[in-house]
Amino acid sequence: MAEFIRDMLQMWFYNRRTNAREMSTYLTTFADEHIKDRTETAHRCEIHPIHFNTFKVDDKWKETTVDLDERSCSCRQWDLDELPCSHAMAVARYASRSFNS
Under a CB-based contact definition with an 8 Å cutoff, are residues 74 and 64 in contact? Answer: yes
DSSP string, 37-90: HHHHHHHT-EEEEEETTEEEEE-SS-EEEEETTTTEETTSHHHHHSS--HHHHH
Residues that bind Zn ion in the complex, under the rule CB under 5 A:
64, 73, 75, 85, 87
| Residue closer to Zn ion (CB basis): 64 or 68 | 64
| Residue closer to Zn ion (CB basis): 11 or 80 | 80
| Residue closer to Zn ion (CB basis): 16 or 76 | 76
Closest distance to Zn ion from the beta carbon of 95 (Å): 15
Report how far residue 57's alpha carbon sits from residue 80's, in angstroms, rounded to the nearest whole number: 19
Closest distance to Zn ion from the beta carbon of 27 (Å): 18
3-class state of residue 23 by DSSP: coil
Closest distance to Zn ion from the beta carbon of 40 (Å): 14
